[in-house]
């Protein structure tokens, strides 16, 4: 059985973000066809399971995020060569190790796949030095991977234009955990909700335009907003919480990891507001589409690609206010139908994992003398 190592996530079981959820889907749905080794941060797990859905869990005494992530990924890539046929790295943090690991993998007949995610270096939280390092890491990852994967066509177009290498585009799924649930037990919720409201779900980071959205609803007292985020994450997010917590039509709810409760909150919403300005196919957006929520999204190519240019789009507080004030019930219902149709056609895990199964098989069986998948000759 082909052995595949997954590198770059906090670990399994998932308790952090989209890449962890994706890794869980891989090992759950493709067990029996491949054997997975998953590298985990021992700092993040009090209980260290040896296996998860048949995958072997390997622990490293480093953090998977922050400055330690480079070393965390690098050590995992070096160790994985002894346990894998294919190494699948999620993200580009450890790319400084890739010139050597690519040479070693070629020598031993192993293959390196990198998921470049969504232009991490553009995130506002990074300083100048960190941003330069991440941009350099991105370039190394694209150059030295046998195959580059992205979950968004706009990111693939960027990579092809900048690096002359065409990534394989495989989107993100969300159908397995979503069910439109109507509230019959409000006591299960962490806070009382409005009778009618919009919803936003995002990490409290500047590039997610959190303050832009809050400011818009502050100016719309007749429109309610429920915003789910990690408000205690940073000084900036705590200051936002203090600034807007007294606005009567805004409820700021802390992070919710129970999918049932999160789905109950989202299922009741009139529409979903998506402020992400950086990234590829964002899980929270795809999940909202699967729930049949009308979508108002920040106007960047990534979001337009996911929603196929048929959502509503804004780039400023004023534009968001104008959209919300102008929306009719008929327009919301029509957009709800469009979002759900797109989700069913593009973002099912069955479809996504079939593509990964074909990718892993083709990469392993490809001749070492062939150009890497996705190569574009100069």
Residue 258's Cβ-count burial label (10 Å; 0-12, 13-18, 19+) is exposed
- Which pLDDT value is given to residue 186? 47
- For residue 210, being part of any structural domain is answered with yes
Give the pairing type, strands 51-52 and 55-60: antiparallel
- For residue 181, being part of any structural domain is answered with no
Residue 191 vs residues 10, 155, 265, 273: alpha-carbon distances, Å:
29, 37, 10, 20
- Which pLDDT value is given to residue 190? 59
- Which pLDDT value is given to residue 132? 87
CA dist., res. 356 & res. 87, Å (int): 13
Q: Based on the fold, state whether residues 97 and 138 are members of the same structural domain.
A: yes
Q: Based on the fold, state whether residues 361 and 219 are members of the same structural domain.
A: no
On the CB side of 264, CA atoms within 13 Å amount to 18
Q: Based on the fold, state whether residues 146 and 246 are members of the same structural domain.
A: no
Which two tokens mark 96? Answer: 């400084």
The alpha carbon of 237 is separated from its chain's Cα centroid by a whole number of angstroms, namely 20
- For residue 370, being part of any structural domain is answered with no
Q: Based on the fold, state whether residues 196 and 342 are members of the same structural domain.
A: yes
Q: Based on the fold, state whether residues 139 and 225 are members of the same structural domain.
A: no
Residue of 72, 36, 74 whose CA lies nearest to 57: 36
CA dist., res. 71 & res. 81, Å (int): 16
Location of structure tokens 């929306």: 327
Q: Based on the fold, state whether residues 200 and 325 are members of the same structural domain.
A: yes
**Residue 70, domain extent:** 2-173+349-365
pLDDT per residue rounded down to tens, the chain (378 residues): 999 999 999 999 987 678 898 999 999 999 999 999 999 999 899 899 999 999 999 999 999 888 899 999 999 999 999 999 999 999 998 999 999 999 999 999 999 999 987 666 566 666 788 788 888 999 999 999 999 999 999 999 999 999 999 999 999 998 876 665 554 444 556 567 888 999 999 999 999 999 999 999 999 999 999 999 999 989 999 999 999 999 999 999 998 877 788 888 998 899 999 999 987 899 899 999 999 999 999 999 999 999 999 999 999 999 999 999 999 999 999 999 999 999 999 999 999 999 999 999 998 776 443 444 444 333
Q: Based on the fold, state whether residues 192 and 334 are members of the same structural domain.
A: yes
CA dist., res. 116 & res. 209, Å (int): 23
- For residue 196, being part of any structural domain is answered with yes
CATH code, domain carrying 48: 3.40.50.2000
Q: Based on the fold, state whether residues 197 and 301 are members of the same structural domain.
A: yes
Q: Based on the fold, state whether residues 220 and 79 are members of the same structural domain.
A: no
CA dist., res. 10 & res. 44, Å (int): 7
Residues 6+ apart with CB under 8 A from 110: 81, 84, 85, 86, 87, 104
Q: Based on the fold, state whether residues 218 and 284 are members of the same structural domain.
A: yes
Q: Based on the fold, state whether residues 132 and 264 are members of the same structural domain.
A: no
For residues 265 and 256, the answer to whether their CB atoms sit within 8 Å is yes
CA dist., res. 232 & res. 254, Å (int): 8
- For residue 179, being part of any structural domain is answered with no
- For residue 371, being part of any structural domain is answered with no
- For residue 56, being part of any structural domain is answered with yes
Number of domains into which the chain is organized:
2
Residue of 352, 377, 372 whose CA lies nearest to 86: 372
- For residue 163, being part of any structural domain is answered with yes
- Which pLDDT value is given to residue 374? 46
Q: Based on the fold, state whether residues 136 and 248 are members of the same structural domain.
A: no
pTM: 0.87
Q: What does the angle CA 172 – CA 174 – CA 7 come to, to the nearest 5 degrees?
A: 50
Which residues is 2 bridged to in the sheet? 34
């Amino acid at each position: 059985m082909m052995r595949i190592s997954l590198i770059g996530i906090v670990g399994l079981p998932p308790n952090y973000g989209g890449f962890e959820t994706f890794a869980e889907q891989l090992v759950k749905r493709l067990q029996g066809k491949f054997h997975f080794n998953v590298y985990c941060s021992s700092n993040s797990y009090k209980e260290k399971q040896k296996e998860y859905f048949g995958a072997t869990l390997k622990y490293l005494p480093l953090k998977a995020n922050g400055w330690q992530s480079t070393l965390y990924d690098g050590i995992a890539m070096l160790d994985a060569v002894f346990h894998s046929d294919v190494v699948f790295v999620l993200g580009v943090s450890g790319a400084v190790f890739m010139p050597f690991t690519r040479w070693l993998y070629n020598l031993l007949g192993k293959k390196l796949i990198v998921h470049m995610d969504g232009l991490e270096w553009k995130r506002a939280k990074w300083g100048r030095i960190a941003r330069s390092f991440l941009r350099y890491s991105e370039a190394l990852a694209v150059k030295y991977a046998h195959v580059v994967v992205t979950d968004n066509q706009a990111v693939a177009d960027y990579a092809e234009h900048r690096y002359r290498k065409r990534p394989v585009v495989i989107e993100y799924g969300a159908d397995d955990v979503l069910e439109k649930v109507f509230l019959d037990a409000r006591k299960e919720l962490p806070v009382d909700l409005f009778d009618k409201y919009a919803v936003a779900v995002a990490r409290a980071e500047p590039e997610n335009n959190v303050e832009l959205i809050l400011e818009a609803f502050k100016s719309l007292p007749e429109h309610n907003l429920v915003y789910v985020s990690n408000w205690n994450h940073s000084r900036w997010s705590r200051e936002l919480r203090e600034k807007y917590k007294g606005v009567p039509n805004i409820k700021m709810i802390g992070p919710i990891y129970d999918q049932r409760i999160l789905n109950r909150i989202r299922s009741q919403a009139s529409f979903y507001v998506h402020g992400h300005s950086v990234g590829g196919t964002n899980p929270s957006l795809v999940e909202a589409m699967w729930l049949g929520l009308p979508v108002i999204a920040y106007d960047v190519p990534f979001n337009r690609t996911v929603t196929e240019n048929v959502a509503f789009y804004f780039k400023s507080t004023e534009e968001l206010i104008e959209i919300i004030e102008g929306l009719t019930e008929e327009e919301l219902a029509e957009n709800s139908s469009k979002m759900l149709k797109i989700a069913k056609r593009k973002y099912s895990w069955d479809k996504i994992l079939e593509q990964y199964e074909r990718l892993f098989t083709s990469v392993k069986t490809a001749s070492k003398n062939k150009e890497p998948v996705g190569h574009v000759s100069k």
